[in-house]
């Protein structure tokens, strides 16, 4: 009896952890996509704004200026 109860509890805990991880990953992906779109628009609209946001030689800012 003791062994069965322990197994059931472990399974429930694992499921909860997986669900939380999936939700966090989805939120991070959405935020990353939004930031990339905003940075691209800033470079096309205002070069100075993109440079200030990049922080002096960033990845998107430097590439946009060189192109």
- pLDDT tens, the chain, 67 aa long: 666 666 666 666 666 666 666 666 666 777 777 777 776 665 555 555 555 555 555 444 444 455 4
Looking at residue 53, what is its pLDDT?
A: 52
Question: CA-CA distance, 12 to 17, in Å (whole number)?
Answer: 9
Domain ranges of the chain: 25-51
Looking at residue 33, what is its pLDDT?
A: 78
In this structure, how many other beta carbons lie within 10 angstroms of the beta carbon of residue 61? 21
Q: Which residue has the tokens 């990339």?
A: 36
Question: Using alpha carbons only, what angle is made at residue 37 by residues 64 and 34, rounded to the nearest 5 degrees?
Answer: 140
Looking at residue 12, what is its pLDDT?
A: 62
In this structure, how many other beta carbons lie within 10 angstroms of the beta carbon of residue 39? 18
* Lookup: tokens for 58: 């960033």
Looking at residue 4, what is its pLDDT?
A: 65
Looking at residue 20, what is its pLDDT?
A: 62
């Amino acid at each position: 009896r003791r062994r069965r109860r322990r197994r059931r509890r472990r399974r429930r805990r694992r499921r909860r952890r997986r669900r939380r991880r999936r939700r966090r990953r989805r939120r991070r992906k959405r935020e990353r996509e939004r930031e990339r779109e905003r940075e691209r628009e800033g470079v096309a609209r205002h070069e100075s704004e993109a440079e200030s946001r990049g922080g002096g030689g960033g990845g998107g800012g430097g590439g946009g200026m060189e192109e």
